[in-house]
Amino acid sequence: MTRKIGLIPGTGSQGQGIALRLALAGYDILIGSRKEEKAKKVAKELNTILEKEKIQATVNENIAQKCDLIFIILPYEFLEETLKPLREIFQEGTIIVDVVVPLAFDKGLAYIPDDVPKKSASELIEQILPKNIAIVGAFKTISAITLRKINQPMEIDLFLTSNNQEAKNEVKEILEKIPGIRGLDAGPLWVSRTIERMTALVINLNKRNKELEHASFRVISSNK
C-alpha cells in the first residue's frame, strides 16, 4: 500500500528536517500550516535545498483530508486545540506518527512535568482521535538540527511505540528508507512515557558535555 505522507505542521524546524529526509528517501511530501502562504514559502525553500520538487504545501485541514500517514509535530500545549477540530476529517485507516514531546525547562535543564495528561503525548493523541486511527510514536529523540543537516550521514536508532503492531511495522519500513535510520520496536504506546523522558535526557547530555553536539541514541548489541 502506498501512503500519502503529510506533516501537521511541516513549517517548524523539526518538520522541515523530517520532510527533507523523507523527500531524499524518495517520498513525495505534503506539509501543512494554519496559513497556506507560510507552508508554500517553506516548501519552496525546502525544494530549493533538494534541487527538485518533492514537497508541496497546503493548510492543516487538507493534510487531514488527503493524507493517510500524518506526522504530528505540534508543540505539546497546542495538541488538543489543533487536533480536536480535525478528528472527524481524518480518513479511516490513517496512521498518525507522533513526534511530540511535552518538554519543560528548569534552569536550562529539560524535564517532563509529572502532571502531563495521559502521561505522554502519544497517549493524549490517542485519547483525542477516533479509535480507527493508529498512533505510532517516533522521531522523539532526534534533534531538528541533525535532521536538517542532510549532507551529514546519520547512524541513529528510532524508538517506535504503538498499540497497533501492523501500523508500527509499516512506519518502521518507511522510515528505514532514510539512510542511517534504524527503527526499533520499543513496545506499546505507553512506553512513549519513557521515550519522551529520554528526549529530556539527551538534551541535558548535549548541554552539559562539550564533546557532544546534537547527539542522539544508538543501541549497541554484544551479539556478533
Interval 155-169 mean pLDDT: 98
Q: How does DSSP classify residue 185?
A: E
- Within 10 angstroms of residue 77's Cβ, the number of other Cβ atoms is 9
pLDDT band at 1 (very low <50, low <70, confident <90, very high): low
Q: Which residue type, as a one-letter code, is found at position 71?
A: F
- CATH code: domain 5-208 is 3.40.50.720
Per-residue pLDDT of 65-94, as tens digits, reads 999 999 999 999 999 999 999 999 999 999
* pTM: predicted TM-score of the whole model, two decimal places: 0.94
Per domain, the residue ranges of the chain are 5-208
C-alpha to C-alpha distances, 13 to 51, 119, 142, nearest whole angstrom: 19, 25, 12
Per-residue pLDDT of 47-63, as tens digits, reads 999 999 999 999 999 99
Q: Are 55 and 24 in contact (CB under 8 A)?
A: no
pLDDT band at 224 (very low <50, low <70, confident <90, very high): low
- pLDDT for position 222: 83
- pLDDT for position 117: 76
pLDDT band at 223 (very low <50, low <70, confident <90, very high): confident
Cell numbers representing residue 37 in the block: 502562504
